[in-house]
């Protein structure tokens, strides 16, 4: 799906899809107000006769090398689900769900049932694509944002949405035609193609554990954010009218006990890692975010009886680096780049996973409830 203002990138995108032969769906009223929904209606209705699946790409994506083969492999692994090839690196809920899946060593990240579905690259079974097109058709174009309507369809249809880990497209970085503020890139990108078996390598117990947590229906559910060089916790509070995209977070040092973690333990782990060298303020925030991510992930893998393999370290590093690139304020960036902080973050994820309590430890403290936490 494309707009005439983006015509200069179209040939490159089509070529990157080879040997797939994409069809171009142009905004039917490009001179009118901006509306991704207007074009999405036509794109989702353009399902080929006899197709098993329908993939819609927006015109500002950059596919990874060997894109067509990897898309086919991913779809064959989860043929009945919605498959998102992208999530934005600082989305309120989904970016954390993807980073947590990467830390767990999962090829799949079940996405939030309430946050807007990432539609830069989305594949659906053909029948679901036709149903989605029919669902979108009566919605006024003035609604504009297709992703907010797609998540409503998936909710009502009971269609789970899984993001690929790693993602198979990135954002070009061009300004949004819909005038959304901020910068846009993928949460986890690895430009080295992954083999077909990668998409079938995740134990179903781990996928189901991640899916259960991604349902966001527990009153103690949280995500970890790194924004403006500050680590915060975002408590989901299901069933409340709280806006999905609010920017209010709870500072980690004050509130991590509500997530079952002792703040002093987080800082002690950092000091031990640095051998008592005084960390910078930014290093403390990066360590806290990544440690909390690792500890949360470690509880999930332990409950699922899974030990993440070494082959996922590359994706964990990509997840951490995109977190820093999106979350460290420009004034706080080291003059020599983000490599050092990235490695600190990767070490923090590992330490957090190592410090996660076992399911039996949790059960003994909680009477068998709240598995994966210290409450």
Domains observed in the chain: 4-206 (3.90.550), 217-366 (no CATH)
Six token digits for residue 244: 């999905």
Q: Is the preceding omega at residue 19 within 30 degrees of 0, hence cis?
A: yes
Q: What is the mean pLDDT of each run of 10 residues along the chain (375 residues)?
A: 88 96 94 95 97 96 97 98 97 96 97 95 98 98 96 97 98 64 84 95 96 88 95 85 78 94 97 92 98 97 89 92 97 94 98 88 46 35
Q: Give whole-number Cα distances, 53 to 49, 105, 303, in Å.
A: 10, 27, 34
Query: What's the confidence (pLDDT) of residue 241?
Result: 76
Six token digits for residue 40: 């999405």
SS3 label, residue 317: helix
Query: What's the confidence (pLDDT) of residue 308?
Result: 85
Q: Alpha-carbon distance 101 to 95, whole Å?
A: 10
* pTM score, whole prediction: 0.93
Beta bridge partners of 151: none
Residues 6+ apart with CB under 8 A from 92: 115, 223, 225, 234, 244, 245, 246
Q: Alpha-carbon distance 341 to 270, whole Å?
A: 13
Tokens 């490159």 found at: 12
261: number of CA atoms within 13 Å, CB side?
31
Q: Is the preceding omega at residue 176 within 30 degrees of 0, hence cis?
A: no
What percentage of the chain's residues is helix, strand, coil (to nearest 5)?
45, 10, 40
Tokens 């509500």 found at: 258
Query: What's the confidence (pLDDT) of residue 176?
Result: 56
């Amino acid at each position: 799906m494309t707009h005439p203002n983006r015509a200069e990138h179209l040939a490159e995108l089509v070529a990157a899809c080879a040997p797939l032969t994409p069809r171009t769906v142009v905004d039917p009223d490009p001179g009118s107000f901006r509306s991704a929904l207007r074009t999405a209606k036509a794109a989702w209705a353009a399902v080929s006769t006899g197709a098993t699946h329908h993939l819609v790409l927006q015109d500002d994506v950059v596919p990874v090398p060997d894109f067509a083969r990897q898309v086919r492999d991913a779809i064959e692994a989860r043929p009945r689900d919605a498959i998102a090839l992208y999530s934005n690196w600082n989305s309120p809920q989904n970016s954390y769900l993807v980073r947590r899946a990467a830390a767990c060593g999962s090829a799949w990240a079940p996405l939030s049932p309430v946050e807007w579905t990432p539609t830069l690259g989305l594949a659906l079974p053909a029948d679901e694509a036709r149903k989605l097109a029919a669902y979108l058709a009566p919605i006024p174009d003035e609604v504009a944002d297709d992703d907010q309507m797609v998540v409503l369809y998936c909710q009502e249809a009971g269609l789970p949405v899984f993001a690929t880990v790693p993602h198979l497209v990135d954002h070009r970085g061009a300004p949004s035609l819909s005038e959304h503020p901020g910068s846009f890139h993928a949460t986890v990108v690895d430009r080295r193609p992954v083999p077909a078996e990668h998409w079938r390598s995740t134990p179903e117990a781990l996928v189901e554990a991640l899916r259960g947590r991604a349902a966001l229906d527990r009153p103690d559910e949280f995500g970890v954010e790194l924004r403006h060089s500050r680590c915060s916790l975002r408590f989901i509070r299901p069933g409340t009218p709280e806006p999905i995209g609010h920017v209010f977070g709870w500072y980690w040092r004050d509130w991590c006990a509500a997530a079952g973690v002792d703040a002093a333990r987080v800082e002690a782990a950092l000091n031990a890692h640095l051998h008592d060298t005084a960390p910078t303020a930014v290093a403390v925030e990066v360590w806290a975010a990544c440690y909390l991510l690792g500890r949360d992930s470690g509880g999930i893998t332990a409950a699922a009886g899974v030990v993440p393999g070494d082959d996922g370290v590359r994706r964990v590093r990509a997840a951490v680096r995109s977190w820093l690139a999106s979350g460290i304020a420009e004034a706080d960036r080291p003059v020599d780049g983000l490599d050092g902080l990235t490695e600190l973050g990767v070490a923090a994820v590992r330490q957090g996973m190592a410090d996660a309590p076992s399911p039996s430890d949790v059960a003994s403290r909680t009477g068998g409830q709240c598995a994966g936490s210290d409450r």
